[in-house]
Structure 1
Amino acid sequence: MKQETKAIVCAGVAVLSWSTVASAFKIALMHLTPFGLLLVASCTALLIFTCTITLQRKWPLVRALCVKQWKRFAWMGLLNPVIYYLVLFRAYNLLPAQIAQPLNYTWPILLLVLLSLFSGQPIPRKKYAGMLLSLSGVALISFGSGGLNGQGISVTGVLLAFLSAFLWAAYWMFTNRNKKVDAIVALFANFLFGSLYLLIAACVAGVDLSSLYGLLSGMYVGAFEISVPFVCFGLAIRNTNNPALINQMCYLSPFLSLFFIQTVLGEQIVLSTYIGLALIISGIVFNESQKHAVVSP
């Protein structure tokens, strides 16, 4: 298989995986609490990252990490997976998947703001147009779907979905400042600490994992939201001569996700969700097309 073909196949696997997880979240949360789901998913992801490091022979990179780096991963593991996914799963618990998923996808807009604040550089004026476009999509989804299924939309759920987007943007920014560490090694270290924190909490507070459907769906989330797509996306970027194409393929994911939400969950996707998501993605793509981006600190 040619390198470019391999890259597209890997990117396709990542996109397809991410497209199914909104539905998987809702199914898993029928059988598990957000904490129980995260415990199963995190441990599953840790196992997959461990296998990946073994297959790619990256254990020397793990052993080469210094004490300062391990300390950094200790608190980064608290941010992701613990805090981020607990907030995200709670948002999905309170909202229809067709609303939670697009709101969480606003993280690139929040990242732009965070990078501007931490770098001290103003956001280019043209990018305000993209931000306004995305925010109009957010408003349409948040308020235009207010009567979905005859029920009001949870304000707490909407705020949690925004918080999850903010947390992911912050995590991405902190991770981007530590590019010296291999991406898979960094994820392994994060989830090593994150899983440890979750196991300690489970021992103290207890957790009900008696549902077989819950365990299987949690393992699916750990594999196809947290670990496999990130491994595949990394392979795609490594093997491609056109990284822009690989990145743009990711924008297919939220639209494919709506198909699975309607087919698997039976949610009737309302028009405001389609239009709002299109506006959010359009604003993100517009900002990424601008040459003068805010420099990461």
Structure 2
Amino acid sequence: MTQQQRAYVCGLAAVLAWSTVATAFKLSLAHLSPAQLLLYASVASLLALLSILIYQGRIKEVLPAFQSHWQASLLFGAINPFAYYLILFEAYDLLPAQEAQAINYTWALMMSLLAVPLLKQPLKRNDIWAALFCYLGVLMIASRGDLLHFNFSNLNGLGLALVSTFLWASYWILNTKDTREPVLGLTLNFAFSLPLSLLWCAIHGELVSVSWKGIAGAIYVGAFEMGFAFVLWLFAMKLTKSTARIANLIFLSPIISLFFIWFLVGETIQRSTLLGLGFILLGLLTQKIQRT
């Protein structure tokens, strides 16, 4: 294969993995609490990332990086994975998977909006149109098409889903100033986040025996969504000659995700979800056209 073909393979593999996680979240949460899912998935992800570093012959870099960057690693780890995934899993626990995953895709727009005060970037006209399209889609999904009465299916779940987009966008904005190598940095994030997850479960009395089905789901979520998929995406972006070509693959993810939610979770995909997701994707596309 050519270098560009390898980039497509890595990118598509990452997108396929991300397309299954809404289903994996929902199935796992049938057996685990959100905090338990975070704890066991974090263990699986940390082990997966360490195995990647071992395969690359870079495991010796972990301790020096730990000593040099422990403060940044604690900050980043507290945001992602700890706070972000804890809140995201809570949202998935309250909302149908189809609603939570569609709302989660507005994080890219949230990042552009946060870049205005945090990075002093100007707010452009296309950003305003993108915001209108995306959040109209969110309202349509959350109200299940009843826009006149704003009768939300679960207001707490909606709020948590939107907060998760704020945390994820904030993480990536802060990440622009991160000097750590990406895979090594992500490994340190999980290393510092794991004690926080363990402490949270201990305080809330959630260190109890759980179903093997929940553990299996957490391993899948941690290894693939939090670990290997991220690394595959990094490889794709590194190999490609056109970042835009690889970035466009992400638009496939929500569509594939809805299929898995319907086929494996058994949710009936609402017309309002499809229409709302269409508005969200239109908003993201509007934003993307501006950049190109």
Same fold (TM over 0.5): yes
* SS of corresponding position for 1:153: coil
Query: Partners in 2 of 1:201 and 1:152 — Cα distance?
Result: 30
TM-score by length of 1: 0.91
Give the C-alpha shift of residue 77 in structure 1.
0.8
Query: Partners in 1 of 2:273 and 2:207 — Cα distance?
Result: 35
How many residues get paired?
Answer: 288
After TM superposition, the runs of 4+ consecutive aligned structure 1 residues lying more than 6 A away are: none
Contact 1:209 1:215 (C-alpha < 8 Å) held by counterparts: no
Matches within 5 A, 1:12-51: 12-51=12-51
Query: Partners in 2 of 1:60 and 1:258 — Cα distance?
Result: 41
CA shift digits 1:207-253 (9 cap, x unpaired): 22430101101111112211111011111111111221111101110
Partner residue in 2 for 1:71: 71
CA shift digits 1:166-207 (9 cap, x unpaired): 1101111111221x3211011000000111222344455442
Contact 1:32 1:209 (C-alpha < 8 Å) held by counterparts: no
Contact 2:42 2:190 (C-alpha < 8 Å) held by counterparts: yes
* SS of corresponding position for 2:187: helix
Partner residue in 2 for 1:183: 182
Give the C-alpha shift of residue 23 in structure 1.
0.7
Partner residue in 1 for 2:273: 273
Contact 1:40 1:215 (C-alpha < 8 Å) held by counterparts: yes
Q: Percent identity?
A: 37
Partner residue in 2 for 1:260: 260
Unpaired runs of 5+ residues, structure 1, are 293-297
Query: Partners in 2 of 1:89 and 1:258 — Cα distance?
Result: 18
Using a 3 Å threshold, how does the CA distance of structure 1 residues 242 and 273 change in structure 2: closer, same or farther?
same
Partner residue in 1 for 2:109: 109
* SS of corresponding position for 2:121: coil
Matches within 5 A, 1:124-273: 124-145=124-145, 153-178=153-178, 180-204=179-203, 205-273=205-273
Contact 2:77 2:193 (C-alpha < 8 Å) held by counterparts: yes
Query: Partners in 1 of 2:270 and 2:116 — Cα distance?
Result: 35
Contact 1:87 1:160 (C-alpha < 8 Å) held by counterparts: yes
TM-score by length of 2: 0.93
Unpaired runs of 5+ residues, structure 2, are none
Contact 1:146 1:153 (C-alpha < 8 Å) held by counterparts: no
CA shift digits 1:239-296 (9 cap, x unpaired): 111221111101110111000001111111111111111111111121122148xxxx
RMSD: 1.9
Q: Give the AA of the match of 1:108.
A: A
Query: Partners in 1 of 2:76 and 2:30 — Cα distance?
Result: 29
Contact 1:108 1:284 (C-alpha < 8 Å) held by counterparts: yes
* SS of corresponding position for 1:144: coil
Contact 2:19 2:256 (C-alpha < 8 Å) held by counterparts: yes
